[in-house]
Structure 1
Amino acid sequence: MSIDLVHFTPGPSLAGGIGIGAAAAVLILFNGRIAGISGILGGLLSLPRHDIAWRVAFLAGLIGAPVLASLLGRSTTLDIQAGWGEILVAGFIVGLGTRYASGCTSGHGVCGLSRGAIRSLVATATFMAAGFLTVFVHQHLMGG
């Protein structure tokens, strides 16, 4: 096994993890809500709409933070080697998965695990296993 030291960023990764954990803690402590992105977005898309202001603010922060980082000179570009069709199909499949799992990686992986929820442990293990399998198939079987 080798470590790619160019992309090995423990400091920024730790800071990002602390930020995500703090945001999840603040949201549940002051608003009583779980910081699950699919649930936050789903609440905006469902009728009747409720709790609109905090949902819009949270999603605006998710979009605004990389924009602000970019304006401050931090690189936020990703090299995605897929076409729009592949991205749309993948997004649709992820959307279906979040509905069946009653939450996404942020809701289950950050908030559910910290609360000791068994269903979040199962969901997160399933998300991770699917990701590992996808990378393995792409790298070893499809010549990625």
Structure 2
Amino acid sequence: MVEFLSQPWPWYTSGAVIALVMVLLLFFGKSFGFSSNLRVICAACGAGKHVKFFDFDWRSQLWNLLFLLGAIIGGLISSEFLAGDDAVQISQATIQDLSVLGISAPDDLQPEEIFSLDALFTVRGFLILLIGGFMIGFGSRYAGGCTSGHAISGLSNLQLPSLIAVIGFFIGGLITTWVLLPLIF
């Protein structure tokens, strides 16, 4: 069984699992989004006493916290016990594009030049993480959800604001990839 689970699966497997999860969530009247867990955690820690935004019944969202916990535990189990030697497969075109920017092909999930403790303690690395974290936090709050919430749950519910947000995510990703990263690196 471990051998079956640890092999690379076809790309469409995740699509089928996401569709199954969405059908179940729609059946039970729930909506999906990971960034909403931050609000639930803040409310559970008592932030509602000081900020009105966090003053709501966070216990009704315990299922979402369990989903988050399951994702973390599943990722840990997967990376520690099921990851094979060829778990990360990067195309040659991506490796060439990274080398032009001075970034070597990653041995793991992320390039060491960007995502490592050594990179964090440089001015450029610290600023990238600080500004990127701020933009993700501000953007998900401003858009009323994160990429997973809008792209998976919002589009499944045929919500126009989610379509607009997803288009904005893609435009931002293209600008970052083709304009900002070459300027930074």
TM-score interval w.r.t. the shorter chain? 0.7 to 0.9
Partner residue of 2:73 out of 50, 57, 64: 64
Q: TM-score, normalised by structure 1?
A: 0.77
The 8 Å contact of residues 44 and 52 in structure 1, kept in 2 or not, is answered as no
Q: For residue 28 of structure 1, what is the aligned residue in structure 2?
A: 26
- State which of 23, 27, 35 in structure 2 corresponds to 1:38: 35
Gaps of 5+ in 2: 1-7, 49-55, 89-107, 121-125
Cα 1:25–1:45 change in 2 (3 A) is: farther
**Shift, 1:52, TM fit:** 4.9
Distance 1:22 1:40 in 2: 21
Residue 6 of structure 1 corresponds to none
CA distance in 2, matches of 1:53, 1:63: 15
Q: Which one has a bigger Cα radius of gyration? A: 2
Give the distance between the partners of 1:29 and 1:105, measured in 2 at CA: 22
CA 1:21/1:87 → structure 2, altered by over 3 Å: closer, same or farther? farther
Q: Give matches, 1:53-92, under 5 Å.
A: 53-74=62-83, 75=87, 77-80=108-111, 81-82=114-115, 83-84=119-120, 85=126, 86-92=128-134
CA contact (8 A) 1:44 1:50 kept: no
For residues 180 and 11 of structure 2, the distance between their equivalents in structure 1, rounded to whole angstroms, comes to 25
Question: Structure 2 length as normaliser, TM-score?
Answer: 0.62
Unaligned runs of 5+ residues in structure 1 are: 1-9
Give the match for residue 145 of structure 2. Answer: 103
Distance 1:119 1:33 in 2: 18
Q: How many residues align?
A: 133
- Which residue in the other structure is 1:7 paired with? none
Partners of 1:119 and 1:12 in 2: CA distance = 31
Give the Å deviation of 1:61.
Answer: 1.4
Residues 15/88 of structure 1: CA separation in 2 closer, same or farther (3 Å cut): farther
Q: Percent identity over the alignment? A: 31
Instruction: Give the AA of the match of 1:62.
Output: A
**1:65 counterpart letter in structure 2:** G
